[in-house]
Amino acid sequence: MHPLFDLRGKIALVTGGSRGIGLEMVRAFATHGADVVIASRKLDACELVADEVRALGRRSLAVAAHCGRWDDVERLVDRAYAYFGRIDILVNNAGKGPPAASHDVSERDFDSIVALNFKGPFRLASLVAERMSRGNGGVIINVSSAAAAMPMPGAVAYGCAKAALEAMTSSFAHEYAPKVRVNALALGPFLTDIARAWSEDARERAGNAMGRPAQPAEVVTSALYLASPASSFTTGSVLRVDGGSISAPGARK
C-alpha cells in the first residue's frame, strides 16, 4: 500500500458504519490496515460489517448506539477504549435529514435532526479529542453536506445542523491542536440508501458540474487522505466532495 495511506496499527471508529458512505470508509480503512469500531443503531448490521473487517485480518468491534444521544455516545466511547485502548481516527458520519417543507417540520423532527447531525457529533468528538490530546494525538473527520453552504429548500434544518458541524470542525481544530487534526468532508448527492426515495431522474442527474450523483465508493480517497499522514498539515478544513454542487441535488443542469 502507498505509505501515505498506511493505517496499519491505527484504530478507527466510524459512526453510521454499517451502510452507505460509512461502510465504504470502514472497508477502506480496514483494507489499508486499520482496526475498526463500527457503530450504528442496529447491532446485527454492525456485526455483519465487523465480520467483513475480520475477514481482512483486522480486529473489529460492533456497537449498537444512537449517535444523537449523549448516553449512547458516552457508552460507545467507553466500549471502544475498553476494547482497543485508544482511538486514532474518529469519523462522525451518522446523520439524517428527511425532506420536508420547513413549516411542516415538527419540534420532535427538528430536535432529532439537530441531535444526530450536530449534538451527538459534538459530544463524541469532544470526548475523543480530549483523550487524543492527552495521548498520541489523532484525527477527526466530520461528515458534512453541500447543504451547509448552499440553499436547500425542503432540508433547512438539516443544512443548518451541517453548517454548525462545519463551524465546530474549525473550532475543534484550534482547541485541540496541534496533536489532534479535525477536518470535514462536505458531500454532495451520493447514491446511498436514501437515493431509493429519489426520482429516476435524480438518481441519474444532479445540478453540479459533474452532472450526476456519486457512487458511495467515490468518497474513499478523500476519507483516506484526511485519515492518514497524507494530510499531516491539513486541519480545520472542509473538503468538498460534491461534484461541484451549485444547486439542490437532483436539479437539472
Could you say which of 81, 158, 176, 225 is catalytic?
158
pLDDT of amino acid 238? 97
Q: What is the CATH number of the domain that holds 13?
A: 3.40.50.720
- Is 0.75 topped by the overall pTM? yes
Residue 246 forms part of a structural domain:
no
Establish whether 81 is a catalytic residue: no
Task: Assign 216 a pLDDT band (cuts: 50, 70, 90).
Answer: confident
> Is residue 251 one of the residues assigned to a domain?
no
The reply to whether 146 falls in a domain is: yes
Domain assignment of residue 253, yes or no: no
DSSP code string of 175-224: HTTTTEEEEEEEE--B-SGGGGGS-HHHHH--SBTTSSPBPGGGGHHHHH
CA distance to 39, 41, 64, 158, 248, per residue, from 110 (Å): 23, 19, 23, 8, 20
Strand order, beta sheet including 180-187: 60-64, 35-40, 11-15, 89-92, 138-145, 180-187, 238-241
Query: Does 113 score more than 60 pLDDT?
Result: yes
**Domain that includes residue 108, residue range:** 3-241
Question: Which pLDDT score, from 0 to 100, does residue 246 have?
Answer: 66
Residue that wins the pLDDT comparison between 44 and 202: 44
Distance CA 17, CA 141 (A): 13
Q: For the chain, what percent of residues have pLDDT higher than 90?
A: 82
At 251 the pLDDT is 38
Query: What would the mean pLDDT of 144-149 be, rounded to a whole number?
Result: 93
Residues 6+ apart with CB under 8 A from 18: 38, 40, 42, 45, 46, 48, 49
| 138 assigned to some structural domain | yes
Domain count, the chain: 1
pLDDT at 84 over 90: yes
- If you average pLDDT over residues 218-222, what whole number do you get? 93
Q: Please report whether residue 197 resides in a domain.
A: yes
